[in-house]
Structure 1
Amino acid sequence: MGRAAIQRGDVVVVTGASAGIGRASALAFARRGATVALLARGETGLKAAAAEVEQAGGAALTIPVDVVDADAVTAAAQRVEAELGPIRVWVNVAFSSVFARFEDISPAEYRRATEVSYLGYVYATMAALEHMRPRNRGTIVQVGSALAYRGIPLQTAYCGAKHAVQGFHESLRCELLHEHSGINVTMVQMPAVNTPQFSWLLSRLPHQAQPVPPIYQPEVAAAAVLHAAEHPHRREYWVGSTTMATLAANAIAPGLLDRYLAKTGFAAQQRATRRDPNEPVNLWEPADGPDGRDFGTHGRFDDRSHTLDPQLLASRHHGLLGAAAGALLGAALVLRGARR
């Protein structure tokens, strides 16, 4: 692409930009002076995100869109190109899911969660490539999860979708490499992040859903997304030592990890507080729509969330060797806990 750093005027598209990692990522690009197209369903959240992007030094264009609608995503990309200029970076973040045992999820709910969290990435990638291919340049960043490699209980829909995105990403990357394409695709695998998802995803759990510690702030995730966009030649990046530890433990002793998660995974994902049955649900309609409120970037776990990620710093400065060392240490701790 000729230059790595995001510069003033570069055009960046972020899906799921109204909250959480998507919103934090949009702000990270805005601080570099980028022009950011914010795509999401929630118009209230989009409006607030756009104000923050402009306050941070970027320019913003909001486009309300449901990523399940392939034609609407294509139209959104066309609008970005027409009004803002060539898309340099496209970041896929948008998702929805269900916190529940598999037997408690209806076929319609499962289909919807899969369409948003997997096919939404596919449709958006198609839209991005339609404009990047003629120029033979551009970067697509897929925001993934450690759960793209390791499924956990109570999140079958989400884990299935993230596994699917991972496979799609690898296949597409191989095709682009075969073509000697100037377009880069990379993926950022996330740990538990303090986002509003735990306040608005459909839940059938008896208690409030929570991320499994250690938890990281969305700005940590956003820094990794920005880094991946500026250094997109690696297949993927990992955020959080527990992400690498989970991958390593799953590779070393998957059966043992199955038993450990079966024993601990239900309680670890729920707080002691009973779930409020009146909490908003964003599976079908945005919780931050015209009649909703702006949920912001952070969830309800600020007091328990980390603001730095030594794992990402190690991989930046010491490459895969440092990352692998952290992974093996973390895997030993995970497996030690599994044996108890």
Structure 2
Amino acid sequence: MRGFGKGSLPRHGKVVVVTGASGGVGRATAQAFAARGDRVALLARGREGLAAAADDVQRAGGEALVVTVDMADAKAVDDAAQKVVDAYGHIDVWVNNAFAGVFAPFTEITADEFRRVTEVTYLGYVSGTRAALHHMLPRDRGTIVQVGSTLAYRGVPLQSAYCGAKHAIQGFNESLRCELLHTGSGVRTTMVQLPAVNTPQFDWVLSRMPGRARPVAPVFQPEVAARAIVHAASHGRRREYWVGGPTVAALIANAVVPGALDRYLARTGFDAQQDERAEGEYGSGPGNLWAPADGPHGHDFGAHGRFDEESASISPQDWASRNRGRMGAGLLVAGGLGAVVTAGLRRGAGRR
């Protein structure tokens, strides 16, 4: 699916691959790249979401190429990358974003479900990275953006499979980065650690909680994440970006008082990830672990979830991170947040 006439090129003309592009952060990221005039390859399983995402890209001023793929299938990911190269000649940016998850205590997640989350979320990133490198290394240029999370450093209850996968991505990316630096490669890899984001995942994720799944407040709009990802793609020499003050505060607290944070999350983490009690046995929506959520339902979920009213559309910390020349103020803010959270955790640990 193309958004330009024959022989014409977008204004910017970068070739960008976004996995998990049919909804949520991936959907918003594809639109953000399109606004630059980029050619955006949209990779995901859901056909309804992909078709709508392609329309979004074209309306934003980009060019869309739809590729249906399950990121757990390494061969299919290789084939998808080749389709992009066949269409556009090369790949400039590859954004690994696709994921799956289960909201449940570890003992209530089956072995097959845990394996599936790992195959999509962790090994999907590995396969995407391998496919990107296959086409980037011969050109000695390109940037791979790994979309991470606060949970890449700090595990939380009820998301053991997802947290394990994000931790694995963090270690994998650091290892790969060292190897690329060792060889003097012109290919860059960077990681963007996100806060809680208002995406549709909380309505389609497999859940065994009594309440309806929700992000831990404070929540940010997916466009905040998208801006950081696009910036990271253009500044791949930075090893990592932390998006949102809560991300900075949580990671500092985890580095300083991890034990106190364990106890704090044991007390608050269950209630903070669910709201009103769901109808039926579980709080799950259509579920997208084994099949795309829009498949039999024919529904496009879009980029936003149901938390628009409480979600922030800007992040001063993210602005500070993207404007390193003015990082002094950002560091002061981050340090203050870390001090406040650390003090609160210590007080909470003392009350336990």
Q: TM-score, normalised by structure 2?
A: 0.92
Determine the C-alpha separation between the residues in 1 that align with 2:344 and 2:205.
Answer: 29
Q: 1:188 touches 1:224 (CA, 8 Å); kept in 2?
A: yes
Decide whether aligned partners of structure 1 residues 89 and 275 sit closer, same or farther in structure 2, where only a CA change above 3 A counts.
farther
Looking at structure 1, the residues matched to 297 and 261 of structure 2 have their Cα atoms a distance apart, in angstroms, of 43
1:296 aligns with 2:302: yes
Matched residue, 1:173:
177
Higher mean displacement: 142-151 or 328-337:
328-337
Give me the whole-angstrom Cα distance separating, in 2, the residues matched to 1:207 and 1:194. 17
Distance in 2 of aligned mates of 1:336 and 1:97: 32
Q: What is the letter of the counterpart of residue 107 of structure 1? A: A
Indicate conservation of the 8 Å contact 1:117/1:161, yes or no: yes
Task: Name the structure 2 match of 1:90.
Answer: 94
Partner of 2:319: 313
Residue 275 of structure 1 and its aligned partner are, at CA, apart by 4.9
- 2:305 alignment partner, SS class: coil
SS in structure 1 at match of 2:122: helix
Instruction: List alignment gaps of at least 5 residues for structure 1.
Output: 1-5
- Distance in 2 between residues matched to 1:272 and 1:290, nearest whole Å: 26
Question: Which residue is equivalent to 1:3?
Answer: none
2 CA distance for matches of 1:7 and 1:326? 37
AA aligned to 2:61 is G
Q: Among residues 240, 243, 255, which one is paired with 1:236 in the alignment?
A: 240
1:135 match: 139
Instruction: Pick from 211, 214, 219 the counterpart of residue 210 of structure 1.
Output: 214
Change (3 A) 1:275 1:158: farther
Cα distance change of structure 1 residues 7 and 321 upon mapping to structure 2, 3 Å threshold: farther
Return the offset for 1:333. 2.5
**43-52 or 270-279: which moved more?**
270-279
Q: Are the aligned partners of 1:205 and 1:275 in contact in 2 as well (CA < 8 Å)?
A: no
Q: Identity rate of aligned residues, in percent? A: 62
User: Relative to 1, partners in 2 of residues 1:322 and 1:204: Cα closer, same or farther, differing over 3 Å?
Assistant: same
Residues 231 and 322 in structure 2, CA contact (< 8 A), matched pair in contact too: no
State how 1:1-340 maps to structure 2 within 5 Å. 8-275=12-279, 277=282, 279-289=285-295, 291-318=297-324, 321-338=328-345, 339-340=347-348
1:134-153 deviation digits (Å, cap 9, x = unpaired): 00000000000011000011
Partner SS, residue 48 of structure 2: helix
Deviation track 1:74-93 (CA, whole Å, cap 9, x = no partner) reads 00101100112211000000
Deviation at 1:24, TM superposition (A): 0.4
Q: Kindly provide the amino acid, as one letter, of the partner of residue 117 in structure 2.
A: A
Match in the other structure for 2:5:
none
> SS at 2:92's partner residue?
strand
Q: Is the 8 A contact 1:19 1:296 kept in 2?
A: yes
CA distance in structure 2 between the partners assigned to 1:24 and 1:257 by the alignment: 32
Distance in 1 (CA, whole Å) between partners of 2:323 and 2:256 is 26
Deviation per CA, 1:179-205, whole angstroms, max 9, x where unpaired?
A: 000000000000000001100010000
1:318 Cα offset (Å):
4.2
**TM-fit CA distance, 1:9:** 1.8
Which residue of the partner structure matches residue 4 of structure 2? none
Equivalent residues of 1:118, 1:165 under 8 A apart = yes
Paired amino acid for 1:329:
G
Task: State TM-score, norm by structure 1.
Answer: 0.96
**Is the Cα contact below 8 Å between 1:44 and 1:290 reproduced in 2?**
no
User: Residue 21 of structure 2 contacts residue 53 of structure 2 at CA under 8 Å; is this kept in 1?
Assistant: yes
| Corresponding letter in the other structure for 1:123 | S
